[in-house]
Structure 1
Amino acid sequence: MEALRLEWAGGSPKLSAAGPMARQGLVTTVSSRVGTAVVVGWVGSVRDRVGGARDLLDDFGRPGATPRLPTGDYAAVVMCRDRILLMRDEQARIPLYFRESGGRVTAVSTSVRHLGGGAELEPRYFCRYLTGNMAQPHSELTPFTGVQRVLGGEVVELSITGQIRGRVLRHVRQAHDPSAQASHGTVLGGAARDLRLALETAVGRRMGRMTACHVSGGTDSTSVALLAARLLAAREDHSDDLVLLAGRFGRGELAGEQPYLDEAVEEIRRRAPAARPMMVDADDVADFDDFQRHAGDADEPYAHAFRAPFWGRLHAAAADLGCDVLMTGCGADPIVDANPLHLHRLARTGQLRQMTKQARAWAAGSERGLWDVVCAHVVRPALPLATERITAFVHRRGTVLGGLGNFARPRWLRSGFARAHGYREASIAESRFVYGRKPEESLYDAANYIAAPDPLSWHRARQDGFFLSHPFLDPEVVATMRRLPAEATFLPGRPKAVLREAMADLLPSRIRSRSVKIPFNELYARGLRTHGDELIDLCRSARHPLIAEMFDVEKLCRAVREAQLGIGDPYSWDRMNSSLAVVVWLERLEPRSPADDAAVIPVIAGSS
């Protein structure tokens, strides 16, 4: 989807924005004496998108300025008299690409398909993508040769004629600085106060005129919705609306979530009586419904396209009500829970006795064996590729999915293709991104890219009128959790102890005390039972030449059969889902032109 476009005509830059998205407030254009900025998404706060865009232009438009990136969900082009800046926020929710040749950028867009139309496909991209579902947002590679991605948190500086002057990664500016006491103390209460402040700020900056909060009855989404209700109740004009959006299941395993959902909604409405519940019947939804459309129409291969039917139904309900933002609880599991990779730090610094003691506590609190905990959080981060190869060898037992983890080559990916296009190098790069030299720190960076199904939000934004937003992935929340010592965040048997303490005065006791939620396994299993044969037929009938070059199709079909029977685990199923998404994306790949999207509005310097 193309929200903005920058191209050169006769050596002069021409900047345009999508008209319908501008009218919806999803694209904001501002101008001043220093230049013009087009911002897709929001900077600073959703409610003041124009003010945030002006601040961005003022900060980056000054000659020689090197400011920190502001908080928000955005991609932006800032065009000054003597230079052009391309940038994205660190969360990298909204895409931005540029077509480059010989050190000169010839076009910029939020749509990689528009820039890549007619270009050759880049096989190295597919190797990187197939190493795991975190690969897309943090790699410069795109599916097309000559088209590159502006990375999250990156500022690309161009001359006015498009020559690349530099690419710099910059950190987000923090609005608040959590107290030193919480950073160095060991008291849960101090950590909870800092998290509460950061999370409340993150929710506040994401609230619009009509805000929808996804509510599932769990600790995470209920916390976000309660904070939104509290902020709304504190406003004097009471002119804004709050919608409580939930999928309702009347049968099956997920029906067990309904009592928690009802209690969450009741408590939220007690604090904000005007909040409107929107319960969306989802009994007939299954994963992989209309998979060809969800996976094939995306700008890039979309690893979580199988789950798009459920989210798409919720999006449609929020759009019908006119919501301008939808907040979720995505990201809380890796961000605000205790960091188990702290055990790796203890091991590599020689604190083996302390590591063993804490590993025993982790094992007791999670009802796992001591070796399982040590293997997952000490051994595997130290030797990720070797551990995966050994695991695959031990657990394969004649199956395609057995033992397949994050990085090992899936058996259906042809070894010749993998060797020719750098699969091993991609696996090493991916493992270093996931674990790095200090895995306990890399956890937060990696979590940012897997916690939310944002390609669907981006693809639907023009028809829905909003983007998904995730307060738990706010840079300030992440920075707060990074600073907390392990002893302030881990209580055996009590996941997300800091969050529960931070929300103690708001969360209903039943939700605050629950430690396990019913997963969406039923939707996945039902989807494979319903659509498994269809997926296999799709693979066998695929005609794009790269599919046969890349995949042993019969082994991929065998993987689908095994998943239908429940063989494998979430890691191996994710690898299969990603491969199926690639097949559909390639089959439906057609050159696109700007006319395929809505009309664009030329941006003229000096207008506002």
Structure 2
Amino acid sequence: MRALLLEWVAGAPRLSVSAALAGRGLVTTVASPAGTAVVVGWAGSARDRTAGARRLLDAFARPGPWPRLPTGDYAAVLVCRDRVLLMRDGQARVPLFFREHGGRVDAVSTSARRLGEGAEPDRRYFCWYLTGATAQPHWESTPFHGVRRVLGGEVVELSPTGRLRCRAPRGARQAYEPPAPETDPLDLGGAARDLRRALEHAVARRLGRVTACHVSGGTDSTSVALLAARLLAAEPDEPGGLVLLAGRFGTGELAGEQPYVDEAVERIRLHAPDARLVSVDADDVCDFDDFEHHAGDADEPHAHAFRAPFWSRLHSAAAGMGCDVLLTGCGADPVADANPLHLHRLARTGRLRQMTRQARAWAAGGERGLRDVVVTNVVRPALPLATERVTLALSGRGTVLGGVGGFSRPPWLRRGFARAHGYREAGIAEARFVYGRRPEESLYDAANYLAAPDPLSWRRARQDGFLLSHPFLDPEVIATMRRLPAEAAPRPGRPKAVLREAMADLLPERIRGRTAKIPFDQLYARGLRTHGDDLIDFCRCARHPLVTEMFDVETLCRAVREARLGLGDAYACDRVNSALALVVWLDGLGRRDLTDDATVPVTAS
């Protein structure tokens, strides 16, 4: 979706923005004698987007070193008198791309597909995409040769004529530095107070004129909704409404979540009696509904497009209530939970007895085997490719899905294609990103992309008028948890102990004591039963030549049949979902309508 377009006409930059998105407040334009800024999303505060855009322009238009990027969910283009700056917030919610040839940029847009129209597909990109769900956002390549991604937290500087001057490395413009510890870092109560304060700040930054909160009955979403309700109640003179958005399942295993949802809503309304509940009937929805639309119309291949039908229904309900922000609980699992990867640190520093003792506690608390805990948190981070090759060699070869883990080459990806276009190198780079030299710290770096892959939110923004926002992935929250020693958070058998302590005075006891939620396996299984034959037929009939060049189609179809029977694990099914989304995306690549909404020219100061 093209929210903005920057081109050079006769050597001068020319900006235009989507009239529809600007009218809905998702694109903000400000100008000053120093230049012009277009901000897609919000910077600083979701409520006052104009003030945030103006502060961004004032800060970066000044000569001298660049300041830190503000917190927010945004992509921004600043056209100043002596330079052009492209930037995104560190969480990378809003996309931004530029087309470059020979060191000169000739176009910038939020749509890679528009910039890459007619360009040769980049086969190396597809190998990166197929290594895992985190590959897209943290790598600069796109599906099209010559089109590059502005990375999260990065600033790209161009000359006024479009010459590429420099790219600030990721992490150089961090929005938030961890504060000095005020309490004993091993004290759970002190850590809980720090997390509560950081989470309140994160929610406050994201409150809009009408704020929707997803309420699923779990600790994470209920915590966010309770904090939003308290903050709104404390500001009676500020305009703002609260909408509670929940999916309702009357049958099947997911119906077991309804009592928790009801209790969460009851507690939230104690703080915000006027909060409106929107309960969306989801009994008839299943994964892969209208898959050709959800996977095929995305700007890039969307690995989680199979789950889009459920979220689309919730998004439509929130849009009907006039919401301009939708808050979720995404990110709490990797960010606010105990970090089991500290077992890897104990192992590599030679404290094997301590590692074994804590691994036993983790295994007992999580009802898992000791070997499973050690392999997941010690062996796999150290040798991901080697571990999965051994797993593949030792696993039964009777099924296609056996042994397909996070980084091994799935059997439906042709060996020659993978070798020619760098699949192994992509897998190694992905492993380094996810685990790094210190896996217990890299977890937080990867958490943003692991927890909340929401291209659907961006694609629907024009019709819905809002983007999803995730307080648990706020830089302040991540920094607060990052500075805690690895030994502070683990409470085997009691996940997210710091969060539960932080929200002890607000959460209902029944929700605070939950240790597991009912997964969405029912939607996935029903989707494959309903649409499995259509997915197989689509793979066999796909017309884009890259499909057969890249995949052994019959092996992929066999994998779909096996997944339909319940074979394989979550890793293997994720790989199948990614491949299916790519097939659908490629097949519609040359047949999509690229007509844009009406645009409004922006006059650069």
Q: TM-score range by the shorter chain?
A: over 0.9
1:408 corresponds to 2:416: no
Structural RMSD (CA):
1.2
Establish whether residue 600 from structure 1 lines up as the match of residue 596 from structure 2: no
Contact 1:172-1:475 at 8 Å conserved across structures = no
**Post-superposition offset of 1:188:** 0.4
Distance 2:527 2:591 in 1: 31
1:147-181 deviation per Cα after TM superposition (whole angstroms, max 9, x unaligned): 11001111000000000000013455556854513
1:95 to 2:110 alignment? no
Deviation by residue 1:248-302 (Cα, 9 ceiling, x = unmatched): 0000000000000000000001111010000000000000000000000000000
Q: Which residue of 1 aligns with 2:320?
A: 320
State how far apart, in whole Å, the 2-side matches of 1:115 and 1:51 are: 30
- Check the 8 A contact 1:117/1:591 in 2, yes or no: no
Q: How does 1:260-339 map to 2 (within 5 A)?
A: 260-339=260-339
Distance 1:176 1:555, change over 3 A: closer
* Number of residue pairs the alignment of both structures matches: 604
Whether 1:210 aligns to 2:210 is yes
2:112 aligns with: 112
Aligned to 2:466: 466
Distance in 2 (alpha carbons) for counterparts of 1:238 and 1:205: 14
Q: 1:564 to 1:593 in 2, by over 3 A?
A: closer
Return 492-501 or 57-66, whichever deviates more: 57-66
Deviates more, 1:36-45 or 1:345-354: 345-354
Aligned mates of 2:92, 2:303 — CA distance in 1: 16
Letter aligned with residue 209 of structure 2 = R
Specify the SS of the correspondent of 1:526.
helix
3-state DSSP class of the match of 2:148?
A: strand
Distance 1:176 1:429, change over 3 A: closer
Conservation of the 8 A alpha-carbon contact between 1:71 and 1:173:
no
Alignment partner, residue 86 of structure 1 = 86
For residues 435-494 of structure 1, the C-alpha deviation after alignment (integer angstroms, 9 at most, x for no partner) is 110111111111110212410000000000000000001111111111111232111211
CA contact (8 A) 2:178 2:479 kept: no
The answer to whether the aligner puts 1:165 opposite 2:165 as a matched pair is: yes
- In the other structure, the counterpart of 1:565 is 565
- Check the 8 A contact 1:178/1:194 in 2, yes or no: no
Correspondence for 1:489 = 489
1:28 counterpart = 2:17: no
1:531 counterpart = 2:531: yes
- Following the alignment from structure 1 to structure 2, what is the Cα–Cα distance between the partners of residues 395 and 68? 49
C-alpha contact (below 8 Å) 1:113/1:591 kept by paired residues: no
Counterpart-to-counterpart distance in 1, 2:508 and 2:59:
43
Matched to 2:431, the amino acid is: S
Amino acid at match of 1:600: T
Task: Give the distance between the partners of 2:323 and 2:470, measured in 1 at CA.
Answer: 16
Instruction: Summarize the alignment of residues 105-504 of structure 1 with structure 2, pairs less than 5 Å apart.
Output: 105-169=105-169, 170-171=171-172, 174=175, 178-182=179-183, 185-237=185-237, 239-504=239-504
Mapped contact 2:290–2:309 kept (Cα < 8 A): yes
| TM-score, normalised relative to structure 1 | 0.98
Conserved in 2, the CA contact under 8 Å of 1:114 and 1:593? Answer: no
Residue aligned with 1:106, SS: strand
SS in 2 for 1:100: strand
- Is residue 203–residue 224 contact of structure 2 (8 Å, CA) maintained in 1? yes
Q: Distance in 1 between matches of 2:23 and 2:542?
A: 40
2:168 match: secondary structure: strand
**Which aligned segments of 4 or more residues in structure 1 are displaced greater than 6 angstroms?**
591-594
When structure 1 is superposed on structure 2, of 583-592 and 282-291 the one drifting more is 583-592
Q: Aligned equivalents of 2:67 and 2:567: distance in 1? A: 51
Deviations 1:521-567 (A, max 9, x none): 00000000000000000000011000000000000000000000000
User: Could you say which residue in structure 2 is the equivalent of 1:63?
Assistant: 63
Question: Quick check: 1:91–1:473 contact (8 Å CA) kept in 2?
Answer: yes
Structure 2: distance between partners of 1:174 and 1:8: 31
Equivalent-residue separation in structure 2 for 1:370 and 1:605 (angstroms):
62
**SS across alignment from 1:29:** strand
Contact between 2:83 and 2:159, CA under 8 Å: does it hold in 1? Answer: yes
Contact 1:114–1:592 at 8 Å: present in 2 too?
Answer: no
Q: How far does residue 593 in structure 1 lie from its aligned partner after superposition?
A: 7.9
2:487 is paired with a residue of what secondary structure? helix
Deviates more, 1:334-343 or 1:447-456: 447-456
Q: Secondary structure at the match of 1:181?
A: coil
Query: 1:387 is matched by which residue type in structure 2?
Result: T
Asked if structure 1 preserves the Cα contact closer than 8 Å seen for 2:440 and 2:486, the reply is no
Q: Which amino acid aligns with 2:144?
A: F
Counterpart Cα distance in 2 of 1:531 and 1:591: 23
> Structure 1 residue 397: deviation in Å?
2.5
User: One-letter code of the match for 2:79?
Assistant: M
* In structure 1, C-alpha distance between the alignment counterparts of 2:176 and 2:94, rounded to whole Å: 22
SS of the residue aligned with 2:73?
Answer: strand
Distance change >3 Å, CA 175–CA 254, structure 1 → 2: same
CA shift, 1:64, in A, is: 2.0
Aligned partner letter, 2:601: P
Task: For 2:28 and 2:451, locate their aligned partners in 1 and report how far apart those are by CA, in whole Å.
Answer: 27
- Aligned partners of 1:38, 1:110: CA distance in 2, in Å? 12
Moved more, 237-246 or 4-13: 237-246
Letter in 1 for 2:597: A
Q: What amino acid is aligned across from residue 139 of structure 1 in structure 2?
A: W
In the TM superposition, what is the alpha-carbon distance from 1:354 to its structure 2 partner?
1.5
Deviation string, structure 1 residues 100-126 (Cα, Å, up to 9, x no partner): 000000100000011000000000000
Amino acid at match of 1:582: L
1:102 and 1:176, CA in 2 relative to 1: closer, same or farther beyond 3 A? closer
1:554 partner amino acid: E
Query: Secondary structure at the residue paired with 2:140?
Result: coil
Letter matched to residue 40 of structure 1: V
| Residues 90 and 175, structure 2, Cα contact 8 Å, conserved in 1 | no
Deviation at 1:349, TM superposition (A): 1.2
Question: Letter of the aligned partner of 1:44 in structure 2?
Answer: G
Contact 1:287–1:310 (Cα < 8 Å) also in 2: yes
- Checking the alignment, whether the CA contact within 8 Å between 1:216 and 1:222 is kept in structure 2 is yes
CA distance in 2, matches of 1:87, 1:15: 15
8 Å Cα contact 1:4-1:17 kept in structure 2: yes
CA distance in 2, matches of 1:476, 1:401: 40
1:243 & 1:396 partners in 2: Cα distance?
A: 50
1:591 CA displacement: 7.0
Q: In structure 2, give the amino acid aligned to 1:158.
A: L
TM-score (norm 2): 0.98
- Could you list the per-position Cα deviations for residues 376-424 of structure 1 after superposition, in whole angstroms to 9, with x for gaps in the alignment? 1011111110001111122243211111111100000000101111111
Q: Secondary structure at the match of 2:115?
A: helix
Partner of 2:518: 518
Distance in 1, Cα, partners of 2:591 & 2:427: 30
* 8 Å Cα contact 2:67-2:173 kept in structure 1: no
Show the counterpart of 1:2.
2
Q: CA deviation at 1:23?
A: 1.2
- Describe the SS at the equivalent of 1:138: coil
The question of whether the paired residues in 1 share the 8 Å contact of 2:176 and 2:475 is answered with no
Equivalent position amino acid for 2:135 in 1: A
1:178-210 residue CA offsets vs partner (Å, 9 max, x unmatched): 45134x521100000000001010001000000
Q: Distance in 2 between matches of 1:259 and 1:553?
A: 44
- 2:532 counterpart letter in structure 1: G
Q: Write the distance in 1 (CA, Å) between the matches of 2:496 and 2:154.
A: 31
